[in-house]
Structures are given as C-alpha cells and as structure tokens.
Structure 1
Amino acid sequence: MTSIPPAHRDAPGGRRRPRWTAGRPPAVLLVPAMVAAAVALLPIAYLVVRTAEAGAAGVMETLWRERTLWLVLRSLGLAAAVTGSCLVIGVALAWLTTRTDLPGRGTWAVVAALPLAVPSYVAAYAWISVVPALAGFWGTWLVLTACTYPYVFLPVAATLRRVDPALEEVSRSLGRSALRTYLTVTARQVRPAAAAGALLVALYTLSDFGTPSLLRYDVFTRVIHTSYRASFDRTPAAVLSVVLVVITVAITVAESRTRGRAEASRVGSGAARTPPTAQLGRARPLALAGTAAVAAVSLGFPAVVLAYWMVRGSSAGLEWDRLAPAGAATLWVALLGALAATALAVPVGVLAARHASRGGRLIEHATYAGHALPGIVVGLALVFFGVRWAEPIYQRTPLLVLAYAVLFMPAAIGSVRAAVAQSPPRLEEIARSLGQRPADVLRRVTLPLAGPGIAAGFALVMLTVMKELPATLLLRPTGMDTLATRLWTETGVGAYAAAAPYAVALVLLAAVPTFLLSRVQSRMVAPRGTGGILEEGHVVEETGGET
C-alpha cells in the first residue's frame, strides 16, 4: 500500500484533499466557462440597455401594473403544473421500463423518448384543430406535458440503469421494505437527474412561445411577443423580459439547492450485472395501459391528425424544390448549433460537478439566463448586437448559431454535469497524483468517462435546434428556410394541408437524434472491469481501498 501523495495531505485533520476537485478551479475549466457565461449573458446586456432607456419611472410603471402580477402568477402556475406532471410521468415510466417486467419494456423505452421529436407548436396545432375547446390553460398544460416529460424520463432512466444494485440489496438485507428501499436508497441517487430534468422542463415551459400562442393562453412569452409586434416602443417588453430572467435565476438556484450535495458516483465499476427486476403481478395490465395512454396522447394523436391533413388537403402535394432544401438547411444549422452549445457546455458542466464553489454556481446560473428568454428576445438582442458591433456576420449563419448556443446551452450542461457527477472522482485524483496536468486529466480521464453524457447533451441540443422557431425567423440568412419556418409560414395563412409535409418531415428528421439520444442514455452505465484507468500504457487499479 502506497503512502498518500503529497498533493492529498494538505487538508486539516489529516483528511485527503484532491487537488483536482478542491480549491481554485484550473484555468483550463474556468476560462472557457467564463466565456460561456459571457455568451449567455449577451441578450441580458441588451435588456439592460433597453430597460435603462425607460428610466426608473417607466420601469416601475410597467412592474406595478396589475397585468404584470397576473402574468407572473399564470407563468409560474403553468410551469409548476407542467413540471410536476412531467416528474410523475417521467419517473414512473423510467422505473417501469428499467426495473420491472413490463411487456416490451425495451420498445416502450424508445417510444417514451420520441415525443421530444414532436415540436410543441405542432402538437398544439394538432389538438386545437380537432378540439378547439382545449384553448387556454388546460390545453397548454396537456401539450407541454406530453412534449416535455422525456426531459425527466431520459436522465432518470439512465441513472436507474447505472445505480449499483448492491446498495439496494444491502438495504433489503437489513430488513427494509421495497418501498422504503426505493425512497431511502434509489430515490436519493436519481434525485440529481430528476432535478436536472425538471429544471429543463420548467425553463422550456417559461420560454415556449408557439404553444401558448396557438392555444391563446397569455404568459410572458406571448405578451412579450405581442408587445414587440404591436409597438415601436420595445421598452415595456424588455422590462417584462427582465422579470422573466429573474424568475429563471430563482428557479435555477432552487434546483441547485434541491440537488444539494447528493453523491451519485462510485469508486469502482460496481457490479457488472443488471439490477433485479420487480414483478408487477396484477398491476401489469394497469401499468401497460398507462404507458400506452401516455404514448397515445403524446405521439398517436398528433400523428393521426398530421396524416389526416396530408391525405385530406388538396394542396398537400410534396413540393420537393422547397422541402429538400429546407430539410438540408435544418440539419446543417442543427449540427452547427449542437457543436457550439456542447463545446461551451462542457467546461461549465465539469466545473459545476467538480468545483461546487460560489463562483462555479454563479457561472452555471448565468448560463441558464438566456434559456428562459423567449427566442424572439434573444433574436432581437443579437440583431442589435450584429448591427452595432458584428455587421460582417449579420444575417449570416454564425449569428444564428450563436443564438442557438445561448438558447440551448443549458440542455447540454445538465447532461454533462450529471455524467461527470456520476463518474468516480478518485480516478482524477490518481491521475493528478501521478503528475498529470489539469488539462491532461480533463482530456484523458474526465471527458472519456463523461462521454455518454456529452453525447446525450449533443443529441438533445441538436433535436431542440431543429424545432426552434422565433430566433430562426429573425436571424436566418437571407433566402434560407428551415422546416420550422416553412411550417410556420404555411400555418400562419391557414394552409394546414400545405404545412403538413413540413411538419411530418420535421418530426421524422427530429426522430433520428431522439432515437440516438435514447440509445446513448441506455448505454450510460458504469465502465466495466476493475475500475482502473490507462495512464502511459499502465493500468492503475483500485482494490480494497489500496492503490
């Protein structure tokens, strides 16, 4: 047994302090993370400028309106309702498809992830065109819940597959019931993943524009958009956007405190076997019916309505000269947006998982600020930025990609942070004790271990970029159309049958990263073997606590 390396003997009381995970974050993480935060805060700077132009009197006049209070209550109420229902559905489906003898659970796991491929405004159009009475709160809640519960399902399912079954077996051997074991052991290990998914659901609900607009339910996004379109004075809309940002920051702080100091990593690879399967018994038909009902509401109904419009409409013929270029442009900008957002998210996710300092939390919270802004606000902010300071990229692809990075960086950060938190930090400590620099530890240990989570974040951002609408409408290069913009154009003039081919193509195209995301998440399990790392051609193993 070797002695404790000097790098680990500087903590008071004789405790070991790893240089990699304690103290000041290395520059290889801190500098890129600060750049990511600066990019995310760019639209906030625009809002500050616009709000300052109103002066204190104008700001207070907007804030103290009775309508502003109602907007806060309605937006928060909708976000709370959607998040709560997504937590229930997502966690239940994750448990059924990973831990029970549900018939066809592998197929149901893929089906449960597919609603991410359905843009919320497409689902809203499908429901409102058939059931007009759904307009309002209940319709908006139904559509957003059906489209966003996979944000909870995917990370929770991945965590349930990765949790070491030995911990649950020990709990059962001590006489605890299955329910108490789940609440005290399993639930505590999936809590960070569930909290990260719930945060994405809440932020998506606060920032969504298409669904509340089609279902005529006034929330911040719809009112801000109306204010921008109805008046040359955009200051009131900027003030409302600032209120929305404050709400977002409050939610991210609450999620961070809910996540707490939960540990989800293992020292080694754990047990190289699957967890025990729970027998549903008489509850199997009920579980199967519930799973099928969720799939019918989130996938079946929109698919039937789109097929109806494709067949019924006389103008539903395929215009390949428009459809093919729009599909190619959608893929291209989605790929670029996912690359940019993931590259910015990796240092922030690692910083949040490994350096839980006040500065690290501040940077993480800053990156979430842009995600809660409506796409039109981010788009207008970058138009302002492009015209004033970045004219060479104005109405060019780079400015559009920058908007995607601001809007969807948190989706990748959540996946990266969860993956890094679940990888054993002791491997990084060993690498540092062997003289490796922080950059080498990051490149050769941390990132490979978090690879599945990074890939999942990339697929999630690519999927979300494909469905983005308001910022794309404002910032797309001249002459370029995506499937989302073509769909919105046809729907805006009432040509539902002509819009159907673009909606179907968008759903089918988005199904590819959705399927890949589901497969990547299913493979997010602990590394096999003895828990060693390859370092300069040698394997460093951990056995019995000795190195």
Structure 2
Amino acid sequence: MTGLSALSVFSLSRLRLPYASVLVLASLVALLSLAPLGFIGWITYDVGWETVKELVFRPRVGDLLVNTFLLEALSIPLSILIAVSLAWLTERTDIPFARLWAWLAVAPLAVPAFVHSYAWVSLVPGMHGLTSGVFVSVLAYYPFLYLPVAAALRRLDPAIEDAAASLGLGPWAVFFRAVLPQLRLAICGGSLLIGLHLLSEYGLYVMIRFDTFATAIVDQFQSAYNSPAANMLGGVLVACCLLLLGLEILLRGNERYARVGSGAARPADRRRLGFFTLPALLLPILLAALTLGVPFVTLARWLYLGGAAIWQADMLGSSFLQTIILALAGGILATIAAAPMAWLSVRAPGRFQRILEACHYYVGSLPGVVVALALVTVTVRLFLPLYQTFATLLIAYVMLFLPRAMVGLRASIAQAPVELERAAMALGRTPAQAVRQVTMRLAAPGAAASIALTALGITNELTATLMLSPNGVETLATRFWSLTSEIDYVSAAPYATLMVVLSLPLTLLLHAHSKRTAGQ
C-alpha cells in the first residue's frame, strides 16, 4: 500500500509538468477565440451605452429571443429522442439490416443544411416559420447526436445491464436506470453541438423565412456594412451561447466514464423485437426517406432539367479542389488547436479550465459573418499583410469549428484512463511522451472523427468564406449560394451534388470511427 501511494504521488507530481504547458497552449487558443467578443466589446464602447440600450432593448430583439428559445427548446429534445431511439434499435436490437440503417443515420451529414432547406422548400413551397424550422433542423442535425450515442452504446459494458436485470429490473427500467445515465456525456456533447449550430445557422432559416439572430445579423450587415445594430445582435447571441454552455456543464457533471482494463470480453446481447420488428423498421425507413430521399430527388430533378450543359468542368474542378484543400487543412488545424483544452477538461477540470473551455465553445455559436468581420478589423488595423489571405481564412475556420473538434476529442480522452498515463511515467516516459504515446493514441479515433466532422463543416461553410476568401477563391458552397441567389437553381445543382459527393467519404470515416471505438 505504501509503494502504491508513493507511485501515485510521484506520478501526480510529474503530471503537473505537462499540465502547465498544456494550460498555456489552451489559453492561447482561448485568447484567439475571444477576438470576436473583443470586437463586439469595442464596438459597444465606441457607440456608447445609450445607443446600446436603444439597439438591444427593443421589441425586435425580444422577438428574436423568443424564436431562438423555441427553436432550441423544440429541436434539441426531438433530436435526442430520435437519435437515442435509432441508436438503440441499430446497436442493441435484432432489427433487420442494422448496419445499413446505422450508415443511413449518419449519411445526412453529407447534405448541407441549406440544401436540406431548399429541397423541402422546392417540394412544399409554403414551408416557412417555426414549425418548418424545427422540422428541417432536426432532419439536418440529429446525426450529430446519433454518432456519439451509438458509439457510447457499443462501448458500454453489458455486465452493467446484467447486474441491473439480476436485481429484478425490467427492460425499460434497465434502460432508464442503468443505460441512459451512461449516455449522458454523449447526449450532452451532441446536444451542445446541435444547439450551437441552431444559434449560428443562416442559410437554412433564410430559405424557410424564419427569423433568427443569425439571419437578422446578416441582414443588418448587408443593409449597412459594419452597423452597430448587427454588432449588438452579435453580443446578444454570445450571451445565448454562454447560457447554453452553462446549462451543458451543469447537466454533464463530473462523473467518470472510464475504467481500467478492456471491459467486457463479449458484445452486448441484442434484444429480440419479435412482433415489434415491423413497427420498429418504420423509424429508420422514414428518416432515410426524409433526410436523404427528398434532397436527392430534388437534386436529380435539377440535374435532369439542366442536362450536360450545366457541368462546366473548369469552374466545377477549381471549386472542388479548393474546397478539398481548405476542408482538410482547416480540419487538421482545428483538431490540433482543440487538443490542449480537450485534455485539460478531462484530466484537470476546474473553474478556470471551464472558463477556457467556454471560450473554445462560444465562438462556434457566432455566425461566420461576425467572426469574419472581427478578423477583417484585426488584420486591417494590426496585421495588414494577412488581410484576405488563406491564413486568415483558416484561422476563421479554426475558430468557427473548435466545438466540433472539442466534442470528439473530449469524449475519447475521457475514456482513456489517467492511470495508464501515470503507469507510463512510472516506467520512464516523460509526461509529454506519456500523453502522446498513451492517451493520444487511445484518442486517435476521436481525433480522426474530429477532423472529419470539422472538414464537413468547412465544406459547407458559407458566410465567412464569402467575406475572407482571397480574390479568385470560390468553394462549392459559395458558388452554389451565389447561383441560388440569382434564382439559377439549375446551374447550382452540380455544386450541391459535388458537396454531397465530397462529404460522403467523411461520413463513412465517422461511421468507421464509431465502429473502431467499440473494438469491432
């Protein structure tokens, strides 16, 4: 017992060494993330308190707050219900073609949210307002919850359920009392990701004519470039994000989800659906039809109407190549930037670390136009050579998609036991080597998923790319949006199709990652 205590003290003392350097790195990333908030603060100070009160405390802002609250309050619970139900069916029951339904549940991530929206508006021109916004939002974003929940279900030790059943609990009681609490980290992370997307989404809600803070901010900037009103709306949006972050932290708690050892040697038994097989099949079939069938039919109609003339190889090829380069570079950089904070949030949680974590997350709720204008101001005033360069555009991508990178890394690091780091240091590894060779190797599938998830977002990113791209740079998303803005929906179809084609391999990577984390 004395030897173990000495080893623990020795390991803890050495663990402080990487902690300090990691804390510095995480603080630098957090400082970069604060640039948009500093921009809004500077504008607030510049216009004066009287103007701030006039712009913030007005009926228009109240209406936007109500819209935002209703959108979040309706979309997130519905997404949780659908994602958890579908994950349970595909991972823990004998539903036919489970692997096919599991892949189809992830595939909607390959379709940009604004393509989802336009497909439904094309099918039902009268779609608009809150109900339509919630409907399309759930279809577009529920896979962000399905992925972590399905992966968590694969990793759960079936002995937990066996023990609960041996105590006399029925199947429903076992699920709600033994399984669902173990999914809390995955549900909280996925819900936070969806909530941030709902706050920052622009194209989806413009097409269905539902006003949110994002659409109002862009409208303000288009009518009066760099207007104080838009910046004040951005400040309210930041407050909404911080509130969402605080709620997620409270619900997440401090429980530990890792265990030493490989866990159960057998997979969980799949429950027989029996009579309920056909009713259960309705859920994945209906979701596949709504999330994939409608967009693909719409795109097929566009392509058929346009014929071969709309496939302009030179412009399509240039946009396709530029999108690939930006997506991969931005995904890798965002994941590297998120790694220090992800490690700290798991290994050394504390009040200051949670403040740093909030800095990493809040920027993901801002519309790309706010982040872009903040970077324009900083580069023009302080770093003029960086204005409208690839470096500035990649910095914007890192800031916008840090939450995506954080969620995947944090969950993977949380399931890599700290005892393995300490054992590696006791065997002669330096703290940095222990983290790199043990923890980060175990978290590598999560890092790959973070890169893929971030690259997906960059592929479909719109507003920041429009404002920060160097002259002559056009991605698939910006070309699609410019053509649809000109009501040239037929010419826009190839760009939407290539966005889907480019995103599909990334969704396959995400699906493969979730399989690897379960050791399958």
TM-score range, shorter chain: over 0.9
Shift of 1:243: 0.8
Equivalent position of 1:4 in the other structure: 4
Equivalent position of 2:464 in the other structure: 471
Contact kept? 2:17, 2:431, Cα under 8 Å:
no
Q: TM-score, normalised by structure 1?
A: 0.92
Equivalent position of 1:30 in the other structure: 23
Equivalent position of 1:350 in the other structure: 343
1:313-392 to 2 correspondence within 5 Å? Answer: 313=306, 317-392=310-385
1:252-267 to 2 correspondence within 5 Å? Answer: 252-267=245-260
Equivalent position of 1:67 in the other structure: 60
Shift of 1:84: 1.2
Contact kept? 1:265, 1:423, Cα under 8 Å:
yes
**What amino acid is aligned across from residue 199 of structure 2 in structure 1?**
L
Q: Deviations over 1:264-309 (max 9, x none)?
A: 1111101122111011111111111111101111111010011011
Q: Deviations over 1:177-209 (max 9, x none)?
A: 121111122111111011100000000001000
Contact kept? 2:479, 2:492, Cα under 8 Å:
yes
| Match 1:179 to one of 172, 175, 180 | 172
Q: Deviations over 1:25-47 (max 9, x none)?
A: 71231111111111211111111
Shift of 1:432: 3.3
Shift of 1:494: 0.6
| Match 1:446 to one of 439, 442, 451 | 439
| Match 1:213 to one of 202, 206, 212 | 206
Distance between the aligned counterparts of 1:465 and 1:272, measured in 2?
A: 39
1:83-102 to 2 correspondence within 5 Å? Answer: 83-102=76-95
Distance between the aligned counterparts of 2:419 and 2:88, measured in 1?
A: 29
Shift of 1:380: 1.1
Say if 2:513 is the partner of 1:498. no
Contact kept? 1:207, 1:372, Cα under 8 Å:
yes
Distance between the aligned counterparts of 1:289 and 1:206, measured in 2?
A: 31
Shift of 1:69: 1.2
Contact kept? 1:25, 1:355, Cα under 8 Å:
no
SS at match of 1:132: coil
In the superposition, relative to structure 1, how do residues 440 and 155 fare at CA in structure 2: closer, same or farther (>3 Å)?
A: same
**What amino acid is aligned across from residue 185 of structure 2 in structure 1?**
P
In the superposition, relative to structure 1, how do residues 522 and 229 fare at CA in structure 2: closer, same or farther (>3 Å)?
A: same
SS at match of 1:313: helix
Contact kept? 2:388, 2:468, Cα under 8 Å:
yes
**What amino acid is aligned across from residue 197 of structure 1 in structure 2?**
G
In the superposition, relative to structure 1, how do residues 480 and 316 fare at CA in structure 2: closer, same or farther (>3 Å)?
A: same
SS at match of 1:133: coil
Distance between the aligned counterparts of 2:309 and 2:184, measured in 1?
A: 46
Shift of 1:19: 4.7
Shift of 1:130: 2.1
**What amino acid is aligned across from residue 141 of structure 2 in structure 1?**
T
**What amino acid is aligned across from residue 41 of structure 1 in structure 2?**
L
Percent identity, please.
38
Contact kept? 2:106, 2:147, Cα under 8 Å:
yes
Distance between the aligned counterparts of 1:296 and 1:494, measured in 2?
A: 26
| Match 2:153 to one of 143, 155, 160 | 160
SS at match of 2:4: coil
Where in structure 1 are there 5+ consecutive unaligned residues?
11-16, 529-547
Distance between the aligned counterparts of 2:428 and 2:250, measured in 1?
A: 35
SS at match of 1:4: helix
Equivalent position of 1:280 in the other structure: 273
Contact kept? 1:199, 1:251, Cα under 8 Å:
yes
1:194-273 to 2 correspondence within 5 Å? Answer: 194-232=187-225, 234-273=227-266
The RMSD of aligned alpha carbons is 1.7
In the superposition, relative to structure 1, how do residues 232 and 157 fare at CA in structure 2: closer, same or farther (>3 Å)?
A: closer
Contact kept? 2:245, 2:362, Cα under 8 Å:
no
Contact kept? 1:80, 1:202, Cα under 8 Å:
no
Contact kept? 2:145, 2:187, Cα under 8 Å:
yes
In the superposition, relative to structure 1, how do residues 385 and 328 fare at CA in structure 2: closer, same or farther (>3 Å)?
A: same
Equivalent position of 2:34 in the other structure: 41
**What amino acid is aligned across from residue 394 of structure 2 in structure 1?**
V
Aligned structure 1 segments of 4 or more residues deviating by more than 6 angstroms: none
Q: Deviations over 1:416-472 (max 9, x none)?
A: 111111122221222233453321221111101111111111110011110000000
**What amino acid is aligned across from residue 89 of structure 2 in structure 1?**
L
**Number of aligned pairs?**
520
**What amino acid is aligned across from residue 45 of structure 2 in structure 1?**
A
Distance between the aligned counterparts of 2:128 and 2:29, measured in 1?
A: 38
Distance between the aligned counterparts of 1:335 and 1:91, measured in 2?
A: 30
Structure with more helix by fraction: 2
Distance between the aligned counterparts of 2:387 and 2:89, measured in 1?
A: 49
Contact kept? 2:137, 2:198, Cα under 8 Å:
yes
Equivalent position of 1:486 in the other structure: 479
Distance between the aligned counterparts of 1:281 and 1:20, measured in 2?
A: 55
In the superposition, relative to structure 1, how do residues 232 and 399 fare at CA in structure 2: closer, same or farther (>3 Å)?
A: closer
| Match 1:78 to one of 64, 71, 74 | 71
Distance between the aligned counterparts of 1:37 and 1:70, measured in 2?
A: 31
